[in-house]
Structure 1
């Protein structure tokens, strides 16, 4: 029989140790707060190390909270207190909102749910607790099954992943196709934990759609699974779509909407295009300033500039609403969302997802619907009508070059930057004024923030080339 963990204070039988340990934890946090307030260090490396450890501690506390939520759900506290479910009980107990509380309950129960035991090869089983005639000892009760996501729970307990990472992993495991063995599912979980090491939850979510590659060698099967996941997300998004607007009775109206990702990405790109400042090049510089969020870098007042940015986006949205041609709402889409897919996949009804220049993927069905609405524009990259290497003939990169570059880069090329390609400007690695070529090898996408940095006096940079000729920019402050 398994040994039960020591949870009770040996000196006080029947009394939980949890309240006393929580008191000690609060005392430690009080001391930590005082130490941080008194700390005079300014070195970025030391502050980063402390921040990483505090983040890990917060994740471990979150894991403990989820274990309490799972415990409350398993003993059905909500039924005894008159709440409709555990989510309602958690929300009321913590003065929180119902929706995130319900999400926490789902995660907590998923992390503690036992794995399904494999079917037995022997149809004739001896009931547990009975003694066979002539046997020397009664049968031994089996060990209770371990949680299927025990390794994910352990990673969260240790602070190696966050609760948001764990949500992505549990969803990806739930999305796996039927028929996988327990060993195959464990292999997928292990792969997801590896993927989570250096990825934010949003990036992990994209990579997790293809986790089946860990156990499935057939790429077509993996493609079909990824397409199923994306189609399911699209269906869920449509189910969750909502819109409301109210009159504030002061000349303004306030609203909120939830729409599928593709529709939101198109709207975001339209607003970005409407609010981007006019392209302007500083004398003697190849830097083009186009990203409004960099205004804080110009004036130093982050709050004022952020409010100004939000204000201009609000005005752009209002302008857009007043200009929508309502007599042609069923015609072609008004904005371009660049989707990369293979023509064979599009025409042969293959189930392969496509990537977008806004940082995520679309399922095959959505791509076909968008193609029907927008039309198909044949482009032969590198052909005589669309030259990609302009040498010194022109300074500015062409749309064809931007399209070709989007097939190489998903995001800004600065190390660690996750701003999508659609938000970037193309920069000459070797400045055009110094003899740089206007070709793809000398082209690199940079968001406005990093575009300003690359020619700024306070920063130096190095270029790291990958085997596929893509480049990553590493910035270092000048000393």
Structure 2
């Protein structure tokens, strides 16, 4: 085991320059890795002597889990790696060679971390099945040497190259049987009110899903006010999923909706619906804020059940609230997309927003409707922007005072070029 010394830690770390910080990180990282390799030698020796004889434990893994305060799974990963890298002894005292001695030598130098070592071990187990001892040793030396500077993708590429070298002819070709598509989706509601979506898609459906999400998850361009899209990729894909659902729900052939966007019921008190304060019951299983309920009612995403203070249903989704397919076509022709200034989203990605809110008695006619994408729909409901219908019958927007002290009206000119 190479002799190592702990690097000196500056007393005032905040004074350190960037090179000193980087040097310190590399030094401590090497010390940790060297110590991890030395720990593996101790664990291999415990395995050789037997944890039961030494400490009364059934296995080295359970003993180490207790000593280190780890879970069984965490301890198993460390112990199994230690046994693979170091020689042990059989019951008769004969030495059992290490599975990956070349990798152990690189690990002892502190140049390779736990994850890369595990990746090498996994690769070796996959390619060692039908190879000679000489080929195995050569393949391991290639991987161990490469791991000094390589990342996970380079090691995976090396595995493919090694497979091609060890078996240039490949497996005997067989006529593949057509596989049944494997598609699994689960949806469950968590205790915090969020829904957890899990899925397993076959390659073909996975590629289609990725392409659809990518098409709708592109970052919004910087608008005329210099505001960039700050959403993470996961957040953009979540919004893309919502848009794809909106498109499917609005399809005329969608079962149970007939082209209307109503999907679930939201129960809310009359006072809460008018004020936007408080909460609403979502499909009898969850809750949402009254402000979100007002926005959802705008474009018929939900069917509101309005209750009096005494709990009496006052209104179950007045039909005049719905934007008819004919009105929607007229809106698409008039606004040609999201009407918010600088927005490029097309009509199919937009909601029909009631300018004078439906909950406040606003009518569902073209003079009171405007197309807004999901992002700008939320901005109008929850922000300081305002929208109104101008004298020429086209929507215009009033910015917040912090953007324009004079609050001069603005329009989207992108769709009318």
Pick the TM interval, shorter chain.
0.3 to 0.5
Q: Which has the higher contact order (CA 8 A, sep 6+)?
A: 1
TM-score (norm 1): 0.39
